[in-house]
Structure 1
Amino acid sequence: MNTTSAASVLLVDDEQDILATLGGYLRRSGLEVLTAGNGVEALQVMDRHPVQVIVSDVMMPFLDGRSLLRTLRQREDWTPVILLTVVGEADERSAALDEGADDYLNKPFAPQELLSRIRAVLRRLQTSTHALGNAQILVADHGTGTLKLDRLARRVWNEDTEIMLTPKALTLLEYLMTRPDEVHSRERLLESLWGFEFAVSTRAVDHRIAEIRKAFGDDAAAPTLVQTVAGQGYRFAGEVRRG
């Protein structure tokens, strides 16, 4: 199945050359492409024509990419957002992912790489009956109860007990829950959530996984919530649904 044949994408950038060249490439690849020159125009387009994926530059006049993202999430609009930034903005990437971005792509990038990221988002939407990428509340049953994560409030519960996680652990849990049963390498998680562009010697991912497991009483030797896939990475093993 061609996951992009009827998909609509909103491309937001204040550089008209980018809108023309990148928009043209995405259209030739089978996408319906709408464009906006800044976040304000993007919101106006969204009011008239909801789309499946938003691709937005970060640095723009009037309303930048992160402000656009925050505005959408405050509206409880969970349309997947891919943000475009420049290499080296690790803190910027991390903060935006905490605020609800679905992916980040560093400039300069090949158009094929952006298309690949868009297709990955669309596959996640298609394979989830409940469109988890658009859900504010995520719910999953596991060995010690029912997990509920409120993406807008940035709060998480196990049964009726609120669980306190560090911001990075909560973002990692959200990332895994919106992509259930997918295996994610440490390198990919470090790039997406921590902003590391190259292989680095760090156990940041492993420490946050351990934090999540401990908070939910998930046995590290036989986890039912976040599983380790030997030699590959981690995956969220529970079935996730909208709350």
Structure 2
Amino acid sequence: MSTERPALLLVDDDPGITSGLSPILARDGFAVTIAEDGAAALEAVAAGSIDIVVLDVMMPGLDGRETLRRLRRDGHTVPVVLLTSVGEAAERARALDEGADDYLNKPFDAGELISRVRAVLRRTSSGGPTLASAPVLIAGELKVDRSARRAWLSGREVALTPKAFALLDHLITHPDEVVSKPRLLEVVWGYDDPVGTRAIDHRISELRRVLADDPAHPRWIRTVPGVGYAFVAPVSQAAGSQAPGSQRPLSQGLR
């Protein structure tokens, strides 16, 4: 990442959004470049010196998700925050699976976007894929194969329900970040799934039981009363590695 002003590429075909958002981002310390479509975004990233991309999903021609797919296919590890719409829960889930680092629903508050951008930049590792695009993550004795949706603790595979794994996946890719319960409902269940926050608490209890995590002295997941949860263990990438026994991948989904 740049040592001074982080270079932010803002990609949106709506000039009303780019003209209004660009000066706000600039005042908050970002060096902003604007791209009006996905093709221009690909050119800007290929030219180098972009620290983070804020990418609208709904654009004519090359939309945001296809732009993201091409960035990852071409080996670009620049972090990406998607701007999407409330009713697109399935689209959000697929985009996160394809390597987006975070997303924000439209309409959004500029301050929240800046907070999310800074959070992504804090957890970005220089010279390698971001945590959201790394296939395998390691936190101490815990190994998570994100593509196979399997996890191991001290070398032994642990059994997790699909929702519990999706919850673990989001938390481990956002270490040291307090993730609110409403945010977890968006990411793991989607707005179209009529569940309450108790569903999150039940899945957190499942994770703690399986991972032998004491909530009073957490190794993995800390409760932030009245807010949500945070993954507290240091997380590293094991890009290119393969979890034990990955020749038998589990078929697990977000739903």
Contact 1:73–1:152, Cα closer than 8 Å, also in 2: no
Contact 1:103–1:192, Cα closer than 8 Å, also in 2: no
Structure 1 residue 48: deviation in Å? 0.8
State the alpha-carbon separation in 1 of the partners of residues 75 and 199 from structure 2.
30
Distance 1:242 1:26, change over 3 A: same
Aligned length: 235
Pick from 191, 202, 205: which aligns with 1:207? 202
The yes-or-no answer on 1:89 pairing with 2:84 is no
Distance 1:163 1:43, change over 3 A: farther
Structure 1 residue 5: deviation in Å? 4.8
State the alpha-carbon separation in 1 of the partners of residues 212 and 147 from structure 2.
24
Q: Secondary structure at the match of 2:123?
A: helix
Structure 1 residue 154: deviation in Å? 4.9
1:93-112 matches, within 5 Å, as 93-112=92-111
Q: Secondary structure at the match of 1:18?
A: helix
Q: Which residue of 2 aligns with 1:52?
A: 51
Contact 2:6–2:31, Cα closer than 8 Å, also in 1: yes
State the alpha-carbon separation in 2 of the partners of residues 44 and 242 from structure 1.
27
Gaps in structure 2 of 5+ consecutive residues: 239-255
Contact 1:139–1:242, Cα closer than 8 Å, also in 2: yes
State the alpha-carbon separation in 2 of the partners of residues 80 and 49 from structure 1.
13
The yes-or-no answer on 1:183 pairing with 2:181 is no
Q: Secondary structure at the match of 1:235?
A: strand
Q: Which residue of 2 aligns with 1:122?
A: 121
Q: Secondary structure at the match of 1:11?
A: strand
Q: Which residue of 2 aligns with 1:225?
A: 220
Contact 1:77–1:134, Cα closer than 8 Å, also in 2: no
Q: Which residue of 1 aligns with 2:64?
A: 65
Q: Secondary structure at the match of 1:10?
A: strand
Structure 1 residue 196: deviation in Å? 4.0
Structure 1 residue 47: deviation in Å? 1.1
Structure 1 residue 175: deviation in Å? 2.2
Structure 1 residue 34: deviation in Å? 2.0
State the alpha-carbon separation in 2 of the partners of residues 230 and 25 from structure 1.
32
Amino acid at match of 2:56: D
Normalising by structure 1, we get a TM-score of: 0.76
State the alpha-carbon separation in 2 of the partners of residues 240 and 129 from structure 1.
16
The yes-or-no answer on 1:11 pairing with 2:10 is yes
Q: Deviations over 1:36-88 (max 9, x none)?
A: 22223222211112422211111112321122223334445443221112233
Q: Deviations over 1:142-174 (max 9, x none)?
A: xxxx22234456554445555564554333223
State the alpha-carbon separation in 2 of the partners of residues 169 and 76 from structure 1.
30
State the alpha-carbon separation in 1 of the partners of residues 75 and 154 from structure 2.
23
Normalising by structure 2, we get a TM-score of: 0.73
What is the RMSD computed on CA atoms of the aligned residues?
A: 3.5
Instruction: Name which of structure 1's ranges 203-212 and 50-59 shifts more when overlaid on structure 2.
Output: 203-212
Gaps in structure 1 of 5+ consecutive residues: none
Distance 1:63 1:212, change over 3 A: farther
Q: Percent identity?
A: 50
